């Protein structure tokens, strides 16, 4: 039997010797026969790879993948589908894949969504034919609302109109649509524009290396903007490195897929690296603290009894009439949310002429909204608000569904979310430093306590300006405020946004909370940047003499060194400290030692934790 690579090479040569062409033909026939045997004997092997919610770490779905028998030349999926295309068995292979994957997924009892790959050609060749494997899903107990048809783009779409009409039929049945490998294949942007898929999967080329490629970074940012306007949800494929994960998470991609989260497994196993999704402080103008201290979606939970998809519509009508305050009813099958009934949409439809007679006795799944927003109850309010804004606006009006470990836990309303966000913003403004806008003492302390409670290692760096008080006396408080504001921006720029936290204790005192492993290099770079940038705040004469003239208490002239930056750092290991008081006290001691050194300097405290009296400002007065 001729290997597939040899077959492809031989077939590509139009003027090959007749013997070679005959050999290739025999090889293709043998491979085609082998494929028919695999399909006839149900020897395809299923595999499932997780698609992860990047905000919470929860499993959102699994993509169904397929393998051939391990003892066959057609073990790889590339070989399977190439031979199927060359021998006219592509539809038969796709139907067998759907059957194999759906059977294994249903048998596992997995509550998540399932992505199934289908080619546009199979969908447009005959809609009724394409429905055959998909109808099998309902027989297995898989609701269409849990199935996402992933359009592969190995070949150009011959008739976009036919494809759009076919997709319309599948959408009416409740299936969602995903566009695969955006940016790789044929006219993918036009497909996105015309088909308006619920999901868009970005080719791994744009994901891998995005942490060090500004062009890829801008490309993804633009895709996220388009997705927000079209209502699509972006899935980043090929996520393998934490640095790339951190960037796509910061950009706001809702979902990710790749070896970093899990390799394809014979069964849908919900395993993701927990350390990737622990809550993190963020460097922002106060909203860093909002992410951690603002609470989770659980606080919005409304205890609304769900209904089964088979509940008659007349029973839903009675429930709305009996409870005038009830705005939406979740539809749940075996604990898994599958739809939502909104009062106004439902009642408007039911009270149309002859509508009660037509729909009254039918099950509620015939009228329910299948395009629902389902979130884990641990989703932060900060992330929830972003998801709501980026999704269909009706989710604000109709509400969203909350789950606990994939099982229905309650509902949330857009009104309640907006109220909580408003309160969070008010609280943020109350505790933010008015000069820099950075979090003040309360959020600093809460952030430190939160990290200690989680048992996460971090480095607390106390930053203080040297010789700053006389600078105010000589140059004035307005110039002094400019120095403070610039210092705050400089400190923020030295931090990694997805890991670190910066707060303004007050005056010329700041604190950095690093979870970046390269925190020492960041501090050294910060000191160098401070030394280079401080020159803008001094006159030419002061720069020339290396200091500025002031007066002491006896009004005698004194030369003060140029303002410098001292950083006292303490590495916090799990169990070494118990409260933010202890961390701040140790950092204050380190800062005091740093100030003993000449010029801008870093001192790392390596001694045992310091306990005792803690002042509100977390340290000593400035020199």
Q: Which domains does the chain have, with CATH numbers?
A: 1-41 (no CATH), 43-273 (3.20.20.450), 297-421 (3.10.580.10), 436-605 (3.30.70.270)
Q: Is the pLDDT of residue 552 over 60?
A: yes
152 versus 591: the higher-pLDDT residue is 591
Can you spell out the DSSP letters for 219-238?
A: HHHHHHHHHHHHT-EEEE--
Over the stretch 511-537, which tens digit does the pLDDT of each residue have?
999 998 889 999 999 999 999 999 999
Structure tokens at 469: 């008080």
Beta bridge partners of 559: 549
Over the stretch 308-332, which tens digit does the pLDDT of each residue have?
999 999 999 999 999 988 999 999 9
Map tokens 């857009």 to a residue. Answer: 414
Contact residues for 480 (Cβ-Cβ < 8 A; gap 6+): 468, 471, 472
Per-residue model confidence (pLDDT) at position 213: 81
Average pLDDT over residues 88-102: 90
pTM, two decimals, is 0.48
Average pLDDT over residues 212-236: 84
> Cβ of 447: how many Cβ atoms within 10 Å?
23
Query: What average pLDDT is seen over the chain?
Result: 83
What is the C-alpha separation between 146 and 365, in angstroms, rounded? 13
Structure tokens at 498: 């997805």
Question: CB–CB of 35/75 below 8 Å?
Answer: no
Map tokens 């992933």 to a residue. Answer: 150
> Cβ of 187: how many Cβ atoms within 10 Å?
13
Element (H, E) at 180: strand 176-182
What are the angstrom distances between the C-alpha of 430 and each of 160, 195, 427?
55, 46, 5
What is the C-alpha separation between 314 and 282, in angstroms, rounded? 50
Over the stretch 393-447, which tens digit does the pLDDT of each residue have?
777 788 899 998 889 999 998 888 888 877 776 766 677 788 888 888 888 998 8
Per-residue model confidence (pLDDT) at position 135: 66
Contact residues for 503 (Cβ-Cβ < 8 A; gap 6+): 438, 439, 440, 441, 443, 444, 447, 510, 511, 513
């Amino acid at each position: 039997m001729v290997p597939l690579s040899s077959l492809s090479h031989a077939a590509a040569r139009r003027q090959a010797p007749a013997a070679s062409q005959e050999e290739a033909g025999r090889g293709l026939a043998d491979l085609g026969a082998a494929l028919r045997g695999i399909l006839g004997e149900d020897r395809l092997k299923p595999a499932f790879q997780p698609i992860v919610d990047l905000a919470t770490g929860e499993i959102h779905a699994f993509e169904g993948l397929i393998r051939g028998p391990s003892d066959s030349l057609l073990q790889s999926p590339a070989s399977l589908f190439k031979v199927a295309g060359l021998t006219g068995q592509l539809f038969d292979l796709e139907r067998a894949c759907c059957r194999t994957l759906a059977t294994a997924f249903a048998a596992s009892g997995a509550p998540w969504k399932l992505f199934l790959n289908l080619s546009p050609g199979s969908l447009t060749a005959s809609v009724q034919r394409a429905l055959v494997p998909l109808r099998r899903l309902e027989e297995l107990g898989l609701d269409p609302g849990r199935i996402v048809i992933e359009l592969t783009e190995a070949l150009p779409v011959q008739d976009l109109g036919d494809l759009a009409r076919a997709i319309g039929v599948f959408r009416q049945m409740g299936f969602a649509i995903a566009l695969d490998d955006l940016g790789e294949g044929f006219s993918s942007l036009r497909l996105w524009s015309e088909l308006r898929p619920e999901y868009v999967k970005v080719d791994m080329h744009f994901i891998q290396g995005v942490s060090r490629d500004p062009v890829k970074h801008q490309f993804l940012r633009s895709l996220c903007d388009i997705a927000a306007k079209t209502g699509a949800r972006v899935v980043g494929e090929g996520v393998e490195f934490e640095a790339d994960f951190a960037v796509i998470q910061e950009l706001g991609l809702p979902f990710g897929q790749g070896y970093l989260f899990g390799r394809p497994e014979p069964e849908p196993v919900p395993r993701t690296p927990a350390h990737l999704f622990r809550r993190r402080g963020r460097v922002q103008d106060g909203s860093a603290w909002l992410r951690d201290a603002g609470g989770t979606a659980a606080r919005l939970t409304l205890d609304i009894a769900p209904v089964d998809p088979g509940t008659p519509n007349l029973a839903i009508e009675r429930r709305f009439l009996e409870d005038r305050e009830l705005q939406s009813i979740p539809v749940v099958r075996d604990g898994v949310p599958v739809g939502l009934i909104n009062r106004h949409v439902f009642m408007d439809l039911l009270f149309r002429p002859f509508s009660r007679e037509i729909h009254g006795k039918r099950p509620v799944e015939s009228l329910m909204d299948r395009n629902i927003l389902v979130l884990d109850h641990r989703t932060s309010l900060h992330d929830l608000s972003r998801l709501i804004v980026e999704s269909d606006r009706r989710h604000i009006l109709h509400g969203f569904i909350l789950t606990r470990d994939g099982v229905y836990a309650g509902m949330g309303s857009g009104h309640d979310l907006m109220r909580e966000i408003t309160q969070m913003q008010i609280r943020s403004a109350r505790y933010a430093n008015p000069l820099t806008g950075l979090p003040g003492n309360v959020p600093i302390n809460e952030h430190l306590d939160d990290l200690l409670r989680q048992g996460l290692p971090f480095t607390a760096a106390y930053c203080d300006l040297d010789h700053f008080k006389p600078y105010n006396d000589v140059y004035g408080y307005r110039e002094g405020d400019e120095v403070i504001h610039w210092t705050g921006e400089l400190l923020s720029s030295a931090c990694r946004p997805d890991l670190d936290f910066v707060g303004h204790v007050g005056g010329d005192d700041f604190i950095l909370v690093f979870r970046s492993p390269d925190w020492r290099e960041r501090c050294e770079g910060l000191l160098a940047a401070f030394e280079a940038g401080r020159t803008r705040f001094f006159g030419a004469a002061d720069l020339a003499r290396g200091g500025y003239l002031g007066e002491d208490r006896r009004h005698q002239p004194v030369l003060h060194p140029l303002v410098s930056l001292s950083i006292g750092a303490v590495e916090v290991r799990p169990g070494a400290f118990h409260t933010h008081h202890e961390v701040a006290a140790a950092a204050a001691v380190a800062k005091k030692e740093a100030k003993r050194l000449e010029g801008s300097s870093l001192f790392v405290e390596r001694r045992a934790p310091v306990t005792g009296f803690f002042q509100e400002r977390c340290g000593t007065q400035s020199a």
